[in-house]
Amino acid sequence: MKVVVTGAAGMIGSNIVQGLNAIGIDDVIAVDNLTNGAKYRNLLGAKISDYFDKTDFYARFARHEFGKIDAVLHEGACSDTMQHDGRYMLDTNYRCSKDLLDACQAQGTRLLYASSAATYGGSASFREEPQFEQPLNVYGYSKLLFDNVVRRMLPSSKSQVVGFRYFNVYGPREQHKGRMASVAFHHFNQFREHGKVKLFGEYGGYGPGMQSRDFVYVDDVVAVNLWFLQNPGKSGIFNLGTGRAQPFNDVAVAAVNAARTLKGESALTLAELVSRGLVEYIPFPEALVGKYQCFTQADLTGLRSSGCDHAFADVATGVQRYVSWLAAQG
C-alpha cells in the first residue's frame, strides 16, 4: 500500500507514520512544513519513501505526478485556536482540504482527514449533527466548513472519505506545539521545572479544575485511523474521543503522581496535592472568556455503529504512559 501523510512531522501525523510502519506499511510519502526545523525529530526512526514540503505537494498531487496513491491521511492544518486571521485559517484548513478532496476523488484515492471537536463549540451535545455545531472561533468554523462539503459529496463519493472529529489529543511528539500542546505536556513540564501544576480556577459554573474535556491518548487516535484504513468500505464523519469527560484535575493528579512514581514517591490524592502546594489554581484568563469549551464528551454512537470497537485509555492510564515517555526523552 502506498499512502501519503500530510502534517507528517506534527504530533498526530508522526504517530500515524509510526503506526503505519508497525503494520508493515513503509511506502509513505511524508508532507509537512519544516520551517520549524526541530519538528524533524518527530520523524526520526520512521520509514518513509519520500518527503515533500506542503507548498510543493498539493499541486503536484492534483496533477497525478505520484502515480497510484491508495490513501491520503490528511493531518496537516493550522490547529492554533488562538489564531484569529480568518483568511489564513480558511485557506489552510478549508481551501487546501477541499482541493485535496477533489484531487482524491478524481484519482480514486481514499481520504482520511482530521476534523475537530471545535466544530461543536458552545454546544452541550456532541453528536455529528448540524444542530449541535456551534464553533466558538474561526478554527472550529474552518473545520466545520470542510465537514459540510464532505457531507454533501459523500452520497456520490467514488472512494472512501472519513473525517475524524478529534477531541483533546495528548501524547508523544507534541513538544513543538508550544502553548498549543496538551495540558498533560504542560503539567509534566510545570511539575519538573517548578514543583507544582497550575490549573484554571472557577469558571463557567465549574469549580476549580473541574472544567472537563474528553482527553484521548494519541495511540488510540492512531488505532482508529488504522482501523478505517483497513476497512475501506466505511465512510462518514465520526467523533474520535473516549466518550468519557474527565476534569482537568484528573490530568493534574495523573501527571504529578506519574512523575512522583518515577522518583519512587507515593501517589497522593487531589486534596493532598492541593494542601502541599503541588496543585495550584489561578484566575481564569480574560482572553478566553466566552471562547472556551468548559465541557466536551464525544458521543461514540456513530463510531460504534461503523463497527469500530476500539477500547480507549482513561486519563490515568494514558498520562502514565505519556509521562514515562517524556521522562525517557531526557
Alpha-carbon span 276 to 291, nearest angstrom: 32
β-strands 212-213, 246-247: how paired?
Answer: antiparallel
Q: Which of 47, 54, 177, 196 is catalytic?
A: 177
Active-site entry in 58, 139, 217, 292: 139
**Rounded CA gap, 188 and 196, in Å?**
9
139 counts as catalytic? yes
The total of other beta-carbon atoms located within 10 Å of residue 27's CB is: 14
Q: Which of 14, 176, 163 is nearest to 80 (CA)?
A: 176
Measured CA to CA in angstroms, residue 269 lies from 200, 229, 239, 255, 273 at distances of: 18, 41, 32, 12, 6
Q: Which residues are catalytic?
A: 139, 177
